[in-house]
Amino acid sequence: MLSVFRSDMQEYFGISLSQFGLLLSIGTLPGVFGSLLGGRLVDRVGPRTVMRVCLVGTALGMILVSLAETWGFMLLSLCVLALFGPTLSIATHAYLVRLFPNRRRRVLAISMVVVSVMGGCFSLLAEGLVQLHRHSEDVSFAAILHAPFAISAGILLVGSFVYARRRSRERADSQDMAVDAQRLDHLKPGNMLLVALLITHTIFDVAANTWMPRVLDSCSFSEVVFKPGYVMFGFSSAYVVSRSLLSLMGERRGRRIMMVAPSFLGAAALTAGVLSRSQATLSICYVLAGFLWSVEYPVILAILAEQSGPRFGSAMAMQMVGMGIGTFAATNLMGLLGQHLGEANLWKILLVPACGLPLVGIGGAVWIWRFGRDLSAPGIDVQEKIVLAEEVSEE
C-alpha cells in the first residue's frame, strides 16, 4: 500500500525522492536480524510457535504505523513491523512444507497465490483511497494512511489468539526437528546456490514493485493512461494466474526450464516496456513480465525445501537476510539515481531490475549443470512412493 500512495505520501511527510526510497526500504534491514533469529527458532522450536509470536509482533508494528505522523516515527514503526514480517513468512513456508512434504511446489505456489490475491486487493484499496483523498477535501491523507494499518492490526491480534492451540503435539514435532537439524551443520553448496538465486530474484522483483507506482505517476510520460494502483492489481493478478497454473502441474514437471527461462522472458518484457517510453505500454509489459517470472520463485523454493530437509528454516533465514540487505541497497540505489536524473527521466531507474533479473536464469543454468542430477534422480522418500502408487492405482 505504501508504494501505491506514492507522491501523496511523499508530500504528506515532506520528504525528497531519496528519502521516499528509504521509507519504502527501511524495513529490510531490521528484517535481517529478525530472519537470523527466526530461522533458527523455526528449526528448533517449530514453526507454529514462531508464527503465533510473529502475528502478535506484526500487529504491534502495524499499530505503531497507524500512529505515525512524522517521517522519523514512520521509519521506526516500519522497523518494528519488519522485525516480525519476514520471520512470519519463513515460519509459514516451513509449516506448509512440513504439512505437505510430497506436494511442496504445489502448496508453496498456492500459498503465494493467496498472498498475491491479498496484494492485489490492497493495491486496489490504496488506489481507491488515494483517489478519494484527491477528490474530497473532507478526507485527509493521514486518515487513509493510518486506518488500514489499525484495522489490520486488530485482525492479526484476533488471529493470533485463535491460532494458539495444539501445543503438545508441536513440542514433540519440534524435538524431532531439533535432533534432525543437529545432524546437518551446514547447507550444501548446491543449496547455497539455490538460496542465492532466491535472493537475486527477490531483490529485483521487489525493487521494481516498489518503484513502479511512483514511476508510472511521474512526469516521465506525457500521458498517464492507467492508474498505478490498477497496474499493481494487474501485476498481482498475473501472479495469481501463473502460480495457480503452476499448482496444477505435476510436482516435478518442467523444473529445469522454469529455473532458467522465466527471468529472461520477464526481463525482456519489462525492458521492452521501459524503452517504449509509453506509460500504457510499460504498464501492460510489467503485468506480462510478472506473469512470466513469477513461476520461478516457487519452483526454486520447492527444490530448496526438498534438498535442505530439516534445515529449510535456516535456509530461508539466509535467503531473507540476503534479500533484506540486497533489497535495501537496490531500492535506495534507484532512489538516489532517480534524484539525480530528475522527474522527467525517472523511467530510467527501472532498467536496474530489468538488467538484474537475467542473473537468476544464468544462475539457474549453472545449478542445473553442476547439480542437475538431483532433478533427474527420484529423490522421493518412502511415504511419497506410497502416495504416488495410490494415485496410479486410483487412475
- Are residues 317 and 261 in contact, defined by beta-carbon separation less than 8 angstroms? no
153: exposed, middle or buried (C-beta count within 10 Å: 0-12, 13-18, 19+)? Answer: buried
Q: CB 121: neighbour CB atoms within 10 A?
A: 12
The position carrying cell 512440513 is 98
The position carrying cell 509449516 is 95
Measured in Å, how far apart are the chain's first and last C-alpha atoms?
46
Least confident of 69-83, 196-210, 251-265, 372-386: 372-386
What pLDDT is attached to residue 187?
64
The set of residues, in sequence order, having a beta carbon less than 8 Å from that of 321 and lying 6+ positions away, is 32, 35, 36
- Are residues 109 and 254 in contact, defined by beta-carbon separation less than 8 angstroms? no
The three-state secondary structure class of 166 is coil
Least confident of 109-118, 189-198, 258-267: 109-118
- The grid coordinates listed for 393 are 492405482
pTM equals 0.71
Is the pLDDT at 201 greater than 50, yes or no?
yes
What pLDDT is attached to residue 349?
92
Residue 259's closest CA among 355, 193, 327, 353?
193
What pLDDT is attached to residue 186?
58
Is the pLDDT at 180 greater than 90, yes or no?
no
Cα–Cα distance for residue pair 109/298, rounded to 1 Å: 6
* % the chain with pLDDT above 90: 22
Average pLDDT over the chain, rounded to an integer: 81
Cα–Cα distance for residue pair 143/141, rounded to 1 Å: 5
What is the mean predicted confidence (pLDDT) over 280-306?
Answer: 90
Residue 9 banded pLDDT, cuts 50, 70, 90? confident
What pLDDT is attached to residue 383?
41
pLDDT in tens, 203-237: 999 999 989 998 998 888 888 889 888 998 899 88
Domains and CATH numbers, the chain: 2-374 (1.20.1250.20)
- Whole-number Cα distances in Å, 94 to 15, 246, 259, 387: 39, 19, 21, 21
What pLDDT is attached to residue 358?
94
The helix (H) or strand (E) run that includes residue 43 is helix 28-45
What pLDDT is attached to residue 378?
43
pLDDT in tens, 322-345: 888 888 899 889 989 988 888 889
